[in-house]
Amino acid sequence: MAKNNKTVSDENNLIGYDPLAWMTEELLEQETVAEEENTVSVQELEVIKPSGSIKLEAVLNIQNVTPLHEKLKNSIGANDLIEIEVSDVTSIDTTTLQLLVALKKESIKLQKIVIFIKPSPRFLESAKLLGLLEILDI
Amino acid sequence: MKVIAIINQKGGVGKTTTSANLGSAIAELGKKVTIIDLDPQGHLAVSLGVRKNQSGIDEVLTGEKSIQQQIISLSDNLQLITSGLKLKEIEQLTENRAHRGDLLKNALHESLQDQDYVFIDCPPSSGLLIVNALFATDEIVIPMTSDFLALQGLSHLMGTIKKFESLLKKQYVAWLVISRYTPNRKISKQVLNMLLTYFPKQILATTIKETTLLAECPSFGQSILEYRSGSRSAKEFRKLAIDFMEGRIMYGKK
């Protein structure tokens, strides 16, 4: 089994890259580098929160996809985890769904997480209709 | 009293199913178990037959009620504390940020000392509620599905846990539970093999297979042990309960 981030050449392997490889690398680093002394305050917990939260509008169509694209691009650049709440969505077109699929694919490439939370019935219905439930991980 | 967080920031990996059924199986073995629903969605309570909207751990965290006031007894050994409608608001609190992380820990250690196990069903997020759960516990159970995105999610979760270990100067006892397992899929075996490579002594021995019965039982408000006591899924959770209590792990590659 490959333990790196490169694409695995074995055609029987169904896992393209190994997202856990950093754990081994970190272990190796720990063996060679002396552990730093940490003085920690509870306030530092704020650093732990790696998430960005975005709530999508009710109506999502080609007219408002550009600002949404910008927003998502900035968010994935700044956060390791993005929670996208889609509870209010009452209408979503294929352009916006394509954007969300692209975001999801990009997040995998960047080893970041995009999670869709509280999907509205219409969001689920549209994603299901286009066969995107699996790729959007809903 | 052992406090265990059932945690995974990815949704749909079986956290609530594991909380409800592992907790019930351990209670069936005669241990005193309390399960706390820390997910604002409140699915754990529904899964265990509590459909009425009522306050729960939310009002414990806000200091309005004590843990003892919020306990719902489900059987001789099993009790539940629901999430409550205000839990979502607590996740979004912005004041007194420096002191928010230990709300749950303080509440638990005041009470529940008579319990053998306290399971916390965590939400699929990484906000204040997860911070509270990780503050309150020394042991975590990570339900994992055997697909690529679950591996990706696990990578992120392990990063979060390592940061907490560093900050709190403690090391969590972490167990992985392979849930929603589909043994006939090649990728499932490959994911499991990868997990065995990285977590050779942490994967509990019994895999929980994806079954229709496990999908059905929450709508009847019953654990799988009540819904179909003799089913394969019920047997798997009974085995998993023993795995967890005795630390029985999976060896080798599948």
Alpha carbons B173 and B229: distance in angstroms, whole number = 30
Query: For chain A, which domains are there?
Result: 1-37 (no CATH), 40-136 (3.30.750.24)
Nearest-by-CA chain A residue for B148: A15
B94 band by pLDDT with thresholds 50, 70 and 90: very low
Number of A–B residue contacts, CB under 8 Å: 97
Across the range A62-81, mean pLDDT stands at 87
Nearest to B126 among A15, A46, A51 (CB): A51
Residue with tokens 């967080």: B5
Tell me, yes or no, if B95 comes closer than 8 A to chain A by beta carbon: no
Going by their DSSP bridges, the two strands B173-178 and A59-60 should be labelled as unpaired
State the CATH architecture for B2-246: 3-Layer(aba) Sandwich (3.40)
The pLDDT value recorded for residue A128 is 85
Across the range B178-186, mean pLDDT stands at 90
Residue type, B115: Q
Which one is predicted more confidently, A81 or A126? A126
The pLDDT value recorded for residue A10 is 61
Start-to-end CA distance of chain B, whole Å, equals: 34
- Among candidate residues B140, B156, B144, B241, the one with its CA nearest the CA of residue B192: B144
Arithmetic mean of pLDDT over chain B? 90
In this model, does residue A17 exceed pLDDT 80? no
A6 band by pLDDT with thresholds 50, 70 and 90: very low
Nearest-by-CA chain B residue for A104: B149
Taking the CA of residue B32 and the nearest CA in chain A, the distance in Å comes to 33
The pLDDT value recorded for residue A50 is 46
Which one is predicted more confidently, B87 or B178? B178
Residues B10, A49: C-beta atoms closer than 8 Å: no
Which tokens in the block code for residue A14?
């169904």
Tell me, yes or no, if B11 comes closer than 8 A to chain A by beta carbon: yes
Burial call B68-103: b when 16+ CB within 10 Å, e when fewer: eebbbebeebbbbbbbbebbbebbeeeeeeeebbeb
Alpha carbons B17 and B28: distance in angstroms, whole number = 16
Give residue limits of the domains in chain B. 2-246
Across the range A92-108, mean pLDDT stands at 89
The pLDDT value recorded for residue A12 is 73
Chain B neighbours among A 44-63 (CB < 8 Å)? 44-51
Instruction: Name every chain B residue with its beta carbon within 8 A of the beta carbon of A41.
Output: 98
Instruction: Name every chain A residue with its beta carbon within 8 A of the beta carbon of B163.
Output: 47-48
